[in-house]
Chains A and B, each alone.
Chain A
Amino acid sequence: MPKDELKSEFRLIGTRPDRPDGLDKVTGRARYGADMALPGMLFAAVVRSPHAHARILKIDASAALALDGVKAVVTRADFPTGLTGEDWNLQENSMAGDVALYDGHAVAAIAATSRLLAEDAAKLIKVDYEVLPHVIDVDDALRMDAPVIRAGAGDHTVPEGSPPNVSKYIEFGHGDLEAGFAAADLVREQTYKTEATHQGYIEPHACVAQLGADGKGEMWVCTQGQWYIRRMCSAVLGLEASQLRVTPSEIGGGFGGKTIIFMEPLALALSRKAGGRPVKLVMSRSDVLRATGPTASASMDVKLGMTKDGKLTAAHVNFRMQGGAFTGASPVGEALSCALACYDIPAVMHNGVEVLANRPKAAAYRAPGSPMAAFAVECLLDEMCHELGLDPLDVRLKNAVHEGVKASYGPTYAKIGLVEVLQAVKAHPNLLAKLGPNQGRGIASGFWFNHGGETSVSLAIGEDGTVTVSVGTPDVGGGRASIALMTAETLGIAYEAVRVNVVETGALGVNEPSHGSRATFASGKAAVEAARSAIREMCRRAAKEWGIDEEAVEWKDGAAMPAGPNAGKFPPMSIAEIAAKMGGTGGPISGHHETNADGVGASFGAHVVDVEVDPETGRTTILRYLVVQDAGRAIHPAYVEGQYQGGAVQGIGWALNEEYVYGANGRLQNAVFLDYRIPVASDLPMIDTVIVEVPNPGHPYGVRGVGETGITPPLPAVANAVAMATGVRLRSLPLSPPKVLAAIKAKGRA
């Protein structure tokens, strides 16, 4: 749609009505993954490897199977063989084959008539292991003499002579790098590291699965994407996708971590083996941390060239990431593409490798790869600004990308809002707050591509003129409200007259998950198109009744009416009137739209944080926090703010305290919320937000995805603030008190 058609005045969009699922969610009625029970249901438990790397010599389940009430045990032997590529990765991650590849890797699963019985019986399954050497750290995994996780796993991109665990190599760039660095007044190069973190959704993975000998199955599961679950489970188990019906429960957080399968195929396999009885499988928190998909850990070199007035002349990033023991799981490609995306730099070069390590298969986590990349690039940028005596915000503005600029990762930007974001930051009162002793202020920008993806939406006009919208994107944080607002706006009816349902896999064409910040963008766009299609049909019905051409009927304020004085003189025919007679005027009226939703608008944000660091203990307190981000158009501003705030706080956790801690034995040391330290309410101030709206021309209402960018700037922003507060620069996350205190003391000694 041409830009000039983008409306800026709306009846409903931009208001803050109650979300349609609010009542269910404040009364405890909303049903999540573990809230389902079925007649005859069995309960499952999973046996997991206590070793980081071990050959499985023998699995003896006879003692468990001898117990009354134990109905089935499955191991890898119950799965089909011959899978390749990502299907094999998924199968191997769901259930170990010959070798357990990480602490927590599933080895066997059992179903019994009660949860306690299943857990007791699981303890009787005897597994003999031959412990193998393991490797955990990303840089250790890259050594030529590192324990080899899977010989020959590297793909065609891996240069000859690479270390044995390298599974992928990426290289791209443009411009004359040498000339760029030569033109700089200051060239600096540094290495940065980030630890793996977990999405930390509060709801553990849970499903109830049923699979009969006829290959027909059903599953109730908490997921961001029911079709992904269907496709992946079908592949892993050798089922026909259409025979598996997957219904998404309400989802208790996902942030990317619920876009793929983990234990779901085990529940299906157990059900099949137990004669088709439904099987419930609920992960414990420790299972979630050990055996679902955290993000990658990263080791990153950045080299930047800058003129003395702050213009970036060249940039070279070289990233190393491990995403567990599986190829293609790390977001190294995304990290490279995001690293320099905020800035207009004449010469850029990106190199990266993925390396295998004895850790769980990484899953997406909110803007996968971008937060690590931002930590490296935005910290070095900050260091150079200070060295040159330049204002870090002005330098970011000076180099900020805008419409027409060739992005560091290739394409040319359409209308984007980074400049507007940085200007809004500059105008914000938080920047005027005075800083005291041991306090510092950090700023950083962030980027995410956003995603469109496969989308299918249906809309049906009810007998009374109210409207049902069926979408395939689970509601992770107000999606129903946003889609209802856009649908009602388009149809010219009340927000309350629309009900949005998240439906099962049998009810629509294939939908990608609620990932990539796409649910409001893509399902919203398709819902608008579906509404327009229903409007066209309603206009036809009115035209038929009035006996005029359908082109002579237009839709306005929720009613068909003659388009102009020449069309004839008829009173408006409301949606309710059309609906009431639709049985006699041609049958049910619905709208449908499916698309590979294009026109995504790239998303930019900038954060400013004030911190205070206790110089005697190294503990950082967040004093003030500002998020400014371009939403394109905020359909329901309260939920846009919520995304900004939630992303910022996840990033704060990553920056300060969250990390996967492994012992020398390769076992995860902190697989409980007590020691995997996500931010608690008392750790934080209010999170101030500014919604910038630079409408995305690729969406009928200007929407850009808003979910992911917010986690990107906090890592460097907090690190930059801590550097200012303490006078020492830490280049590895998290900025845990022991690290910060050691750095402060080292400076004191120097």
Chain B
Amino acid sequence: MQYHKPQTFDEAVQIAAAASGVTRFLAGGTDVLVQLRAGIVTPDHLIDLKLIPGVRDITRTEDGGWRIGIAVCGIELGRHAALVADWPGVVEGMQLVGSTQVQGRATLTGNLCNSSPAADSVPGLIAAGARVTVIGPTGSREIAVEDIPASPGRNTLKPGEIIAAILLPPRGARGGDAYLRFIPRTEMDIAVVGCAVSLTLDGDRISAARVALGAVAPKVLLVAEAAAAIVGTALDDKALAALQAAATAASQPITDRRGTIEFRKDVVAVLAARAARIAYDRAKGASK
């Protein structure tokens, strides 16, 4: 295994383009190192992106959104008060990944690229409408986060392409988001089910919403029907019931060591309602 330390994204792309065999990028390393140790993936080339200037920065974009560097770890995300105020659901999703120790390493970008359907930070990003900047041999492009995961462990990036930053849209007034997951313990587990809701209010009524579900399909789902169930409502019981029905209907889970099909279909409805209430309260100005 060769270890590379590019100083720019262009250099990283060049190294990747020239590399033969298996290539992996190192951001936080909390997946790559586990796979390396377990012998699941032994890359021929490991390209460490952490030394590229700016990759640990969180900056406000011109439109009032956020640009998050690819090596920003969970702790750094959680310490950024203005970001937390805008997108608490995005941040809490990231902060549920692993332990305190893992929070010192794990990144949004790594969690996204690893493309686990149970990735805790991904539903929040998708619900938020986040996009990523991708740099590759043929230039750069922007992609919606929901278009990155392809199937468990596989993403849609082309060979040699690297995510250069995560872009969050402006939160705007009267918006709120939330992420909840179910695990059997209180910490340290992989999500059995996850759900993120982001919404905007007009008065008491929801004017726009996005609902994303984790661990109930081969990749994290953006469920338009679930959002439609609450848009135009004040999140009354009927709307919540419709949201729950839509979430369950959209889920195509499996039975595995972490949960059953029936359980996941039940709990996704529970979490959808709970997350929607939190997002709604946050949009109304409850403490974020």
Contact = CB atoms under 8 A, between A and B. Distances in A.
Interface of A: 119, 123, 286, 616-619, 656-657, 661, 669-670, 673-675, 677, 679-680, 682-683, 736-738, 741-742, 745
Given A670-B257, A675-B258, A745-B266, A619 B187 contact: no
Contact of A738 (B185, B190, B259): B259
B149 to A, nearest CB: 20
B263 A738 contact: yes
Contacts of B190: 674-675
Contacts of B257: 661, 669-670, 675
B189 A674 contact: yes
Contacts of B39: 119, 123
Label chain B's interface by main secondary structure: loop
A123 B39 CA distance: 10
Interface of B: 38-39, 182, 184-190, 192, 256-260, 262-263, 266-267, 270
Given A669-B256, A669-B257, A675-B258, A737 B263 contact: yes
A43 to B, nearest CB: 15
Contact of B184 (A119, A286, A677): A677
Given A617-B267, A669-B256, A674-B190, A742 B184 contact: no
A209 B257 CA distance: 37
B177 to A, nearest CB: 21
Contacts of A673: 188
Contacts of B259: 737-738
B189 A677 contact: yes
Contact of B262 (A674, A682, A742): A742
Nearest to A684: B186
B256 A674 contact: no
A334 B256 CA distance: 33
25 contacts: A119-B39, A286-B38, A616-B270, A617-B182, A617-B267, A619-B184, A657-B185, A669-B257, A670-B257, A674-B188, A674-B189, A675-B190, A679-B185, A680-B187, A682-B185, A682-B187, A683-B185, A683-B186, A683-B187, A737-B192, A738-B259, A738-B260, A741-B266, A742-B260, A745-B266
Nearest to B271: A617
| 8 pairs of A and B residues whose beta carbons are closest in the complex | A738-B263, A682-B186, A661-B257, A669-B257, A616-B270, A738-B260, A657-B184, A670-B257
Nearest to A615: B270
Of A123, A656, A669, A677, chain B has the most CB atoms within 10 Å of the CB of A677
Given A119-B39, A661-B257, A669-B257, A617 B185 contact: no
A119 B256 CA distance: 30
Nearest to A682: B186
B102 to A, nearest CB: 11
Nearest to B267: A617
Contacts of A677: 184-185, 188-189
A673 B259 CA distance: 17
Contacts of B184: 619, 656-657, 677, 736-737
A304 B211 CA distance: 53
Contacts of B187: 680, 682-683
B22 to A, nearest CB: 15
A49 to B, nearest CB: 16
A35 B192 CA distance: 37
A505 B95 CA distance: 50
Contacts of B185: 657, 677, 679-680, 682-683
